[in-house]
Each structure stands twice: as C-alpha cells, then as structure tokens.
Structure 1
C-alpha cells in the first residue's frame, strides 16, 4: 500500500516523505510547487505536479497507486496574508480539503491525517497550556479556514467509513538532523529561519512585531516543535488509524513556550554572532501566547518527542541554512551572496 502526501515538496512535507521512506512505506507526492521544490522530493517517491482540488488528477492518482492513506500537508499558512486575502485561504485550506476528502472517500481510502494548527484556538490564557477541549475561537482567517476543514472531516467521518486525525501544529522549526531537508522557501515568515538568515549575514536584521503583549518581555510566546518530532507524530497517528483508531484531534507541541526575544537570543548564542533587532507594531491576527498540552498525542499515539531543545532546533536550522546557501551560491561569501541576490 502507498501513502499520498499532499504538499510533499514543501518544508514539512519533504521531511514527511523522508520519514515515510525511512519507515519502508511506498510514497506518492502531490504538490503544485507554489512554495515547494521538485528537488526536495526524494527519488523513491512518485511525484505528481498539480493541485489538491483537481478531482480528475486525484482520481488518476488513486487509480494508478494502491493508496490506503492520505497525509494532507498542503495549505496556505501565513497569518497576516490570510487577513489580507481571506477568500484565498478559505478556498485553499477549507474547500480543497473537502474536495480531497471527497475524492479519497470515493476511492475507498479510509485513513486521513490532516495538517491543522494551534491558530484554531485564538487567544488563550497566558502561560496555560491549551488542551484540545479548549474553546476554538480563531482570530484570523488562517485559523478559521483550518477549523472549517476539521469540521468537514468530522462530518465526513460521521457519514462514511472514513477516519481521520487532525494534528494541531504549534510552531514548527528546525531541519532534518541528517541534512536531507529543511525550510527552503524564499521569503518564509518563520521566525527561526529569519533569525538564522540574519545571523549568517543573509539579511540586515530581524523585525519584532509587538513589544506590548502581556508576556514577561512584551513579545509573543510560542511553543516551538522540531519538524522531525512533528513528522514522527504523523507516523504515530497513521499507525493509530491503521489499527482501527477513531477520529481524533491532537496537539503537537512541547508544552513550553519561548518569546520572540528568547528565540533571537538563542540564535545569537548558538551562532555566536549578533544581528540587528528592529521593533515594529503588532501585526493583525497575532496572539500573545500559545503553548500546547500534547498529552493526548502522547497517550493515544505513543508519541515521544526526541528533539525538545531550543538550541538543538536552532542548530539544525542554521546547518540547513548554510547548506541551502551553498546549494544556491556555491562558495560565495555572505557579502557576495547579498550582491548576487540583488541582480
């Protein structure tokens, strides 16, 4: 049997494909390459270029491959962008998830793991790890679009022989410790990537959006989870479904938060190089603090994180950033890289 990974050419998706291959699974990837890269997909995986909302392409994929599970990682993820373009987010994250689920059900596929987000919770009490039973009140279209997709899956599961796990990601960071995959998207908004670029001289500094949040240092607090631990949670969730597990939503985080300034200081400490930090007003849709209670994932799936250390997360991200820029610019210095990027 094969596993279909949507978004498998992207950041989390490429790590997911490697993890599945390492586990001996046959892997099929569907990606439109809007933010992913064809080179990021390992050769043993079978690749299809296209959109998750293309019903004809999905029918072809399911006809050509003995798929028994879908890991749906494709989606739009930038909160401020979702505020500016909400309908695009509802289309890509909500409507297309429904179309993918419908195609899977029609093909007789019973197992579905969905990439959701902690943004479904909205504002939560400062310093209190949030559980899956917390009220879901997203304060931006990104979170709302993912919550709507979860609701579609819930209703589809009630009506069909179809089971799912929705994994609510907290802040994913870091890179494959073996150096096979990492965050490669140009203009990515992930804080640790931005800080690593600044530490390596690839950008002039880092902008901090909001210093007046009700947190110890005034900057937003997030629960950062290493991407390798996140993909392991997917493997565990898939095994749970294959054992006959019932539909679930589960948080993926470590239960401990770091502020924006904590992260910037960690990058400077690991790289041993300071960079400029600039302060700006809050961005629309951002929240003060979100930290996970991931007890359910540990208990139901047997998930045990192995990379729960901020400096380790930063070190793997820095290593990948160096490798990525060697791929792009060869042996050029940071100054030459900036000049090359300007042409």
Structure 2
C-alpha cells in the first residue's frame, strides 16, 4: 500500500513522510516546491514536482503508484498573509482540494487525512477549545481550511470516502537537524533567526490578562504532530472508526514569555525581548484539548518545551548562514 503526501517537501509534510517511511509504508510526494525543499524528501521517496491544481499529474501520480490513501498537508498556510491574498489562498487551499478529491474519485482512492487548522475556530470565548466549539474563522486561511473540511464531508455523502481532519495551532521544533521551519511568519524561526544574526527578539503585547501578560497558545512538536497523522492513516487502513475532526492540542498552553525564557536558557544567549504594542486581533489565550485524539490516535505531547526549543535551535545552527527563508 502506498500513501501520497501532498506538500511532503515542506516543514510539516517532510516530517510526516519520514514518520510514514519509518513505519514501513511506501510513500510518494507531490509538492510544487513553492515553500518546500526537494532535499527534505528522502532519496528513496519519489518527489513529483507539481501543483495540486494540475489535475492530470495528480491523477497520474495516484494511478501510477497505486495509491490507497492521501495525507493532505499542502496549502497556503499564512493566516495574516491570506488577508492580503485571499484569491491565492482560496485557489491553493480550496480549488486544489477539489482537484485532489476529483482525482481521488477518478482513481478509486477512498481514504484521506486532512491537515486542517485550529484557525477554523477564530477567537473562541472558552477556556479550552474542543471539537464541539463553534467554528468562526477570522481569515481567508481559516475559512479555506474549514471549506476543505466541508468538501470532505460533502464528497463522503456522495461516494465512499473515509476521512478525518486534524486541527492544530503552532507547530514547532524539528525531528532532525536537516529538517527545519523556515517560515518568516512563525514565532520560533523568527526568534531563533534573530538571535543567530545578533538581533533582539520582540514580543507583541505584554499587558494581556494572562499570568505573565503575554499571549498563551498551544505549541506542539512537529514530530508529535507527524505521528498523529500516521496514526490516523493507520486507523483508517484498519477500518476503525474515526471522528470527522480531532484537535491536536496541549490542554494547557504556553505563553510567549515562557518561550522566550526557555530560548534564553537553551541557547545560552542572554537577551531581553523588546515588548511592542499588541497586534490587532490577537486574543489573550487560545488552547485546545486533545482528549479525542489521545483516545483514538495515541496523541501525546511527547516533547517538553525545552526539547522543542533545543531541537529547533540545533536545526537552525546546522544550516548556518545558508538559511533559506521563504519570501
């Protein structure tokens, strides 16, 4: 059995690919390399360089490799930037999903694990987000992920399709020093890159109604996230029941100030972050429960915050001055 990983040359997707291959699963990757790197894909795994909007290539890949299931990670993942580029976001996240599902239908592939997002919740007014918390996305990115979930639901009503969607917040760390997050919009790579280059990291808002005045969020290690995707695929293959949606949450959350303190301890670089005014729209606290995923997908926070930071810092140091950022 072969599984297709879309976006498998990206930060999250490449960790999913390695988790699958480590479990003995045959894998093929489709990635247009707009943000991914070809060398993130193991040499023994075929990389098809194409965008999911290319129906003919997607269909041929599914058929030629006798794919039995898809882990769909590819997409335009920048919530803030999606406000500037809504049409691009919908094209890459909604139209591409529809194209993928059409190709799956035409080749008889009936299993898909969708890498969704907790951005579907918007700014919920609850202490702990669970799967029954109403969705209210506040960006084209969050909306596009929710529409992707709707597409799965609606297609499953019309034909045999086993599916589940995994929602999560901030993915950090590295499972290997040669795999790293190079997003210019994510907290960990931004802060570590600034420290590597001798700049002072910044905090947006220090006067929130939280224990230390900074925002509290879920931060999950990318390897833990990848393992949950593989567990969902395994459960699907075994014919076991799956919920339509799972939150991959910490249940407790971590503040930005706690992250800065841990980064200082791990790197050995003594710094005091500059505190800027709040960014509009940043809620004080968003934390998700992971109980359902723990029950069905063996979801656990297997890495401490120190381990998350240490693995990210080791990867950042390994790549050195040749750090390829995403424009």
TM tier relative to shorter chain:
over 0.9
Partner of 2:299, secondary structure, is coil
Aligned equivalents of 2:24 and 2:294: distance in 1? 23
Aligned equivalents of 1:152 and 1:93: distance in 2? 11
User: TM-score, with normalisation over the residues of structure 1?
Assistant: 0.89
The 1:90–1:210 alpha-carbon spacing in structure 2 relative to 1, beyond 3 Å, is farther
Asked if structure 2 preserves the Cα contact closer than 8 Å seen for 1:253 and 1:291, the reply is: yes
Aligned equivalents of 1:150 and 1:286: distance in 2? 24
Partner of 2:139: 140
The answer on 1:267 being equivalent to 2:263 is yes
Partner of 1:222: 217
Partner of 1:237: 232
Asked if structure 1 preserves the Cα contact closer than 8 Å seen for 2:290 and 2:299, the reply is: no
Q: CA deviation at 1:280?
A: 3.0
For the aligned residue pairs, the C-alpha RMSD in angstroms reads 1.9
The answer on 1:188 being equivalent to 2:199 is no
Asked if structure 1 preserves the Cα contact closer than 8 Å seen for 2:218 and 2:286, the reply is: yes
Asked if structure 2 preserves the Cα contact closer than 8 Å seen for 1:198 and 1:275, the reply is: no
The 1:115–1:297 alpha-carbon spacing in structure 2 relative to 1, beyond 3 Å, is same
Partner of 2:248: 252
Unaligned regions of 5+ residues in structure 1, if any? 330-340
Aligned equivalents of 2:10 and 2:85: distance in 1? 21
The 1:179–1:12 alpha-carbon spacing in structure 2 relative to 1, beyond 3 Å, is same
User: TM-score, with normalisation over the residues of structure 2?
Assistant: 0.93
Q: CA deviation at 1:142?
A: 1.3
Q: CA deviation at 1:137?
A: 0.6
Partner of 1:296, secondary structure, is helix
String of CA shifts for 1:249-298, please: whole Å, max 9, x gaps: 00112212111111111101111212352333443553332111111111
1:267-306 alignment runs, 5 A limit: 267-275=263-271, 277-306=273-302
Aligned equivalents of 2:280 and 2:140: distance in 1? 11
How many residue pairs get matched?
323
Aligned equivalents of 2:178 and 2:25: distance in 1? 18
Partner of 1:292, secondary structure, is coil
Q: CA deviation at 1:155?
A: 0.8
Q: CA deviation at 1:114?
A: 0.6
